[in-house]
Structure formats: C-alpha cells, structure tokens
Structure 1
Amino acid sequence: MEVRGSVLISIDEFVKQRHSSDYNSWKGKLSKETLELLKNPGPQKWYPVEDGVIDPTKQLCEMFYEDAKKGAWESGRYSAEAALKGIYKVFVLVSTPSFMLKRASRIMTTFYSPTNIEVVDTTDKSMLLHLTQLPVNNELIEHRIGGWIEKALEICGCKGLKVKIKSSLSKGDDRTTFDITWE
C-alpha cells in the first residue's frame, strides 16, 4: 500500500502556497515518519500511504477546513493543477473529457498502488467511474481523487462541471462511484 512521492510533494506545496503563514505549524503536527519523508521526497519513489498522504492530508484538513472532505478535495484540485502543466497541459487541453478519463486508470496507478479505476458509462456530457481498489479505503483519498478529476476536467474545458461521489469504499461499499456531468 503505497503512494508516489509526487502526491506528498503536492500536499506540501499546497500548504506552502495556500496557507503559508501556518506552514510551520502544519509541519509541527505531522508524524515524525511524514516529516522524515518531507526532508527529501523523490517524486517517483513509493512511500507508505499512511505517512505519504493520509497523515499530511488529515493534518491540513484539521487545521484549515471545517469540512475535512472539502480540504482533501481542494488539495486534489491543486495536485491536478500542478501535475497537468507544461506538455501535459497541452495534452489535456486537446483531449476530450472521455478520452482523458478513460486513461484515468493508468493515471491513478502512477500515484497510488494498488489502484483500479474503470470507466463504466460515458456520454457526451457525463461519465461514471468506479474505483474498485485503493491502497487503503480512506475517505480523504477518495476526495483528493475527486478534486483531481474535477480540476483535470476544468483544464480540459468542461463547463458546469459536477463531480459527485455516489458510493464509497471507505463507507463499506464495494466501490467508490464518481458520477460526473458537465454542460
């Protein structure tokens, strides 16, 4: 059960940029294991999911958001914005939402291991994704992924976007369902 270092780096950068005056306080709340990872995180290295994503996300949510799910969502949006720049942004800009999200399975496996995400249904203005495996069933990770999907689709040009989580592995369902619609 692992997470790529780029996820930890994006959480760290998110707090630095969006909550800079409280950055050191946030670091002071992190576990010693997470702090050790932050000393020299390799974006392509794999780290334990608890220390690499859950602890830092939980701490940022507790410090800066009344609703932890909202904090995780915003952190995921930031991660997509940071990841989908440069040559990747050009790829996303010329992709259709369906084309891009059909590759979501490959994209997610580059961040979380193990992960399985499937496109179940797609139309010109909607998509249903099933996340059937995560490194650990955790609501904050599900919301980070939802925020990432939302921002990626915004970059892709979707307007009137709605991303809703209809079922959840973390709540005991057999999958996390992302119901996505746009205009």
Structure 2
Amino acid sequence: MQQIKGTILKSRLAFVEQHWGREGVERVVGSLQDDDQKALRTVLSVKWYPFEIGERLDAAIVQVLGDGKSEVFERLGAASADANLTTLHKQFLSPGRPHVFLGKAPQIYGFYYETGRRTYEQTGESSGVMTTYEAETFSVPDCLTVMGWYRRALEMCGAGGVSIVEEECRARGGGVCRYRIEWSTVAD
C-alpha cells in the first residue's frame, strides 16, 4: 500500500486555509467520511498516511473549493514548495544551479513517497526530463501538484521562464509520469 508523508497533507490543508480561510478547511474536511476527518484534524508531518486519504482530500478540495477544476493543485504545489523549501527541506535548493537541484529528484521523492522512484535526465543546457516509475498509486491532482512544486522550486533556484509539461501520465493511461522541464534564464 502506497503511503505519503504527513507533510503532503499538511501542505494541502495550509494551502486551503491560506486561500479560503479556516472556514474553507472546515468545509473540505467536513465533506469527508468520519475516519478521514479524524485523521486530518491531527496530521503529523513525520507520520506516513495512506495515499488514498490524500486522494480523497484532493477530490474534496476540487469539489468543494475548486469549482471542479483540478488546476488548483499547481498552485497548491507552488505553495507547498514555498513552505517546505524555506524550512524543512531547504538543503535541497541549489541557487543558480537548476540541474543540480533537479538531480536531487530521487532523494526528494523518497522524502514524500514510500514506494516508486523518480529520475532526472538533463537533455540540454536549460532542459531535462523527470520521470516517476513504479508508484503504486497516482492521480491527476498529485501530478499537477508535482508540476507546481517543481516550477516554484526551480524559480527559488533562480530559474526564470520555467515550463513543465507532463508528457505521459499513469493516471491518464501512461506507463510512467514523465515531465519535460525547460527554463529560459538563470539568476544566481
């Protein structure tokens, strides 16, 4: 069974609170089953949780607050990067060196997910491909969150004009989740 760290759930809840207030959090959590509500009211950052609780939380955010649009998760991913890469995981940032940062994708993946793996391959001076393999569970909102997280993280490393396109997605029938990443400038 795939599990995710509590930091993922906490980031989603913090994003909801930041954009929709405490009432938004209560509306989202209140729309879930009792067991999920109980778990989400006392999330611990270092604890592992079933991936499915994250999926149900994602679906509730889209349904209750996102007008049925899952794109809200790219914004959530960016907010999560701001929160985690300025505190808990700031050692991952590599200012002025986007490829060095992206080369840490396998380690970063291991901090957030229990099964599967992620690779990074540089394809040009300012481009590369990141691929997620063998994750037991996957979802479109999770992939959008990954895209938003890495876009913001690259900006925090000084990359400008960042573009991330998911070329293949397991949640849409692909064999892997593959992201083509490009940027136009780098500041130190």
Same fold by TM (over 0.5)? Answer: yes
Q: What is the alpha-carbon distance in structure 1 between the residues aligned to residue 79 and residue 66 of structure 2?
A: 15
Q: What is the alpha-carbon distance in structure 1 between the residues aligned to residue 68 and residue 131 of structure 2?
A: 24
Could you tell me which amino acid in structure 2 is paired with residue 77 of structure 1? A
Which has the larger helix fraction?
1
Distance 1:35 1:146, change over 3 A: same
1:167 is displaced (CA, Å) by 0.7
Q: What is the alpha-carbon distance in structure 2 between the residues aligned to residue 113 and residue 90 of structure 1?
A: 20
Q: What is the alpha-carbon distance in structure 2 between the residues aligned to residue 32 and residue 49 of structure 1?
A: 17
In structure 1, the residue matched to 2:29 is 27
Distance 1:98 1:116, change over 3 A: same
1:65 is displaced (CA, Å) by 2.3
1:95 is displaced (CA, Å) by 5.3
In structure 1, the residue matched to 2:14 is 13
In structure 2, the residue matched to 1:69 is 70
Q: CA RMSD in A?
A: 1.8
Between 67-76 and 77-86, report the one with greater CA deviation: 67-76
Paired residues, number:
182
Distance 1:40 1:105, change over 3 A: same
Q: Is 1:126 matched with 2:127?
A: yes
1:63 is displaced (CA, Å) by 2.3
1:120 is displaced (CA, Å) by 2.8
Q: What is the alpha-carbon distance in structure 1 between the residues aligned to residue 122 and residue 34 of structure 2?
A: 43
In structure 2, the residue matched to 1:59 is 60
| 1:25-174 → structure 2 map (5 Å cutoff) | 25-51=27-53, 53-66=54-67, 68-86=69-87, 88-89=89-90, 92=93, 94=95, 96-174=97-175
State whether residues 6 and 44 of structure 2, in contact with CA within 8 Å, keep that contact through their aligned partners in structure 1. yes
Could you tell me which amino acid in structure 2 is paired with residue 126 of structure 1? S
Post-superposition CA distance 1:108-145 (Å, at most 9, x none): 11111213111133322111111112230211111111
Q: TM-score, normalised by structure 2?
A: 0.88
Distance 1:86 1:111, change over 3 A: closer
Post-superposition CA distance 1:64-106 (Å, at most 9, x none): 2246331121111111111000484475252511111111111
Could you tell me which amino acid in structure 1 is paired with residue 4 of structure 2? V
Could you tell me which amino acid in structure 2 is paired with residue 36 of structure 1? K
State whether residues 132 and 169 of structure 1, in contact with CA within 8 Å, keep that contact through their aligned partners in structure 2. no
Q: What is the alpha-carbon distance in structure 2 between the residues aligned to residue 141 and residue 105 of structure 1?
A: 17
Unaligned runs of 5+ in 1: none
State whether residues 95 and 156 of structure 2, in contact with CA within 8 Å, keep that contact through their aligned partners in structure 1. no
Q: TM-score, normalised by structure 1?
A: 0.91
